[in-house]
């Protein structure tokens, strides 16, 4: 079977010739052979099944149970929806790469995957910030919680998170298309990320570097700053409570959210540090990227299912009814 041409049509724009490849090559995990990749596909498929079933169960339970139509659970439904889409954007292609060894991904499909990964990550960051704000109001201003976070307000926050993620990251595919890719076409990951595609260019990437740094600081950076500030205020309010039992009960409502924040931001910060300090993409870089994208969709439904009494009791009720 004849292998397709690597280089696609050459585009000429305003006296500048752009060379775009027909496809990129995904490496997977560097240093691992086809046999190891093949066996890694099975736990990856299990992770995808767990992420899909877990997040779908949370969304459906919150939708069916009217008593769960409160800000905290509505934000959780948004988070689970984002995780559901994000895992579907990354894990099936990654599993296909590991199982079949087919490395090719079309140029435009790679850019579309890259946009969805970054935009959905920004939306998840915004929802985590909204959940932190919900916990802040519930603990620090409990009498105003119902008045501040009404149904329409929660819907507007969700729409704002969706719009911000789309608007900030929509330019990325276009500023990558203005680059030429003359020699290297191998992406040292199992999926497409902006910084890795940018490194393959043989032309000036100043615009990409500046804009990429701007959006990571103005989106994830600002969100992380406000989440940290919210928890400083929450911790201060909890420590001022006279009863130790009341303090533990109040802070216990934040444990699930703290786990979700750590699962999202710790790999993100680690990935950013490794990317900024390192030169060529290393194995550590690839592992951090995989943890950043694959861990939250799997761990969030487990944490929230275990720590949230209403969701846990509903799941147990479903299984006990099916077992009869």
The confidence score (pLDDT) of residue 254 equals: 86
Characterize the bridge pairing of strands 104-106 and 7-13. unpaired
The predicted pLDDT at position 1 comes to 38
How much is the average pLDDT of 283-292? 81
Instruction: Please answer whether residues 119 and 165 qualify as being in contact, where contact means their C-beta atoms are separated by less than 8 angstroms.
Output: yes
Q: Which of 35-44, 124-133, 155-164, 274-283 has the lowest mean pLDDT?
A: 274-283
Q: What is the reported pLDDT for 20?
A: 82
Please check whether residue 137 is in contact with residue 149, taking contact to mean a CB–CB distance below 8 angstroms. yes
Most confident range (mean pLDDT) of 11-15, 241-245, 298-302, 320-324 is 298-302
DSSP one-letter code for 282: P
The average pLDDT across 288-309 equals: 85
The per-residue pLDDT for 8 is 54
Residue 14 has pLDDT above 70, yes or no: no
59-89 in b/e form (b: 16+ CB < 10 A) is bebbeeeeebebbbbbbbbbbbbbbbbbbeb
Q: What is d(CA 294, CA 191) in angstroms, rounded to the nearest whole number?
A: 11
Q: Taking 80 as the threshold, does the pLDDT of residue 293 lie above it?
A: yes
pLDDT score at 276: 63
Distance CA 40, CA 218 (A): 36
Poorest-confidence range of 7-16, 36-45, 155-164?
7-16
Q: Are the beta carbons of 161 and 124 closer than 8 angstroms?
A: no
Band of the pLDDT at 4, cuts 50, 70, 90? very low
**Using 50, 70 and 90 to split pLDDT, how confident is the model at 110?**
very high
Q: In whole angstroms, what is the distance from residue 129 CA to residue 257 CA? A: 10
Average pLDDT over residues 241-246: 77
Percent residues over pLDDT 90 in the chain: 40
pLDDT at residue 83, as a whole number: 95
Task: Read off the pLDDT of each residue in 81-110 and give the average, rounded to a whole number.
Answer: 91
Q: 322 pLDDT exceeds 80? A: no
Distances (CA, A) of 307 to 149, 207, 231, 234: 22, 44, 19, 19
- Comparing 23-37, 133-147, 213-227, the range with the smallest average pLDDT is 23-37
- The Cα–Cα gap between 82 and 88 comes to 10
How confident is the model at residue 82, as a pLDDT? 96
Q: From its phi and psi, is residue 175 left (phi > 0), alpha (psi between -120 and 50) or beta?
A: alpha
pLDDT at res. 3? 47
DSSP string, 196-237: HHHHT-SS--HHHHHHHHHHIIIIIIHHHHHHHHHHHHHHHH
In this structure, are residues 212 and 195 in contact, taking their beta carbons and an 8 Å threshold?
A: yes
* pLDDT over 90 (residue 174): yes
The whole-angstrom separation of Cα 292 and Cα 87 is: 11
């Amino acid at each position: 079977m004849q292998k397709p041409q690597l280089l696609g049509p050459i585009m000429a724009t305003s006296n500048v010739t752009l060379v775009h490849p027909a496809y990129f090559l995904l490496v997977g995990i560097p240093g691992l052979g086809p046999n190891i990749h093949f066996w890694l596909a099975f736990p990856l498929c299990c992770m995808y099944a767990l992420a899909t079933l877990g997040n779908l169960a949370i969304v459906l339970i919150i939708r069916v149970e009217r008593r769960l139509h409160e800000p905290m659970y509505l934000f959780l439904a948004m988070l689970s929806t984002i995780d559901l889409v994000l895992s579907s954007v990354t894990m099936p292609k990654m599993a296909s790469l590991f199982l079949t060894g087919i490395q090719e991904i079309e140029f435009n499909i790679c850019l579309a995957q890259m946009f969805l990964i970054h935009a959905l990550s920004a939306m998840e960051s915004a929802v985590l910030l909204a959940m932190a704000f919900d916990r802040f109001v519930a603990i620090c201003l409990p009498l105003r919680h119902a008045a501040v976070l009404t149904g329409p307000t929660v819907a507007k926050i969700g729409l704002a998170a969706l719009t911000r993620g789309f608007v900030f990251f929509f330019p990325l595919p276009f500023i990558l298309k203005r680059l030429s890719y003359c020699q290297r076409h191998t992406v040292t990951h199992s999926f497409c990320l902006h910084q890795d595609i940018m490194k393959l260019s043989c032309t000036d990437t100043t615009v990409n570097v500046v804009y990429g740094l701007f959006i990571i600081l103005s989106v994830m950076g600002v969100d992380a700053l406000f989440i940290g500030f919210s928890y400083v205020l929450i911790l201060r309010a909890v420590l001022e409570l006279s009863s130790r039992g009341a303090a533990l009960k109040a802070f216990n409502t934040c444990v699930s959210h703290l786990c979700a924040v750590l699962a999202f931001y710790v790999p993100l910060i680690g990935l950013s540090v490794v990317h900024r300090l390192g030169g060529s993409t290393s194995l550590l870089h690839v592992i951090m990227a995989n943890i950043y994208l694959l861990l939250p969709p799997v761990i969030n439904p487990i944490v929230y299912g275990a720590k949230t009494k209403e969701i846990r009791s509903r799941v147990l009720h479903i299984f006990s009814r099916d077992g009869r």
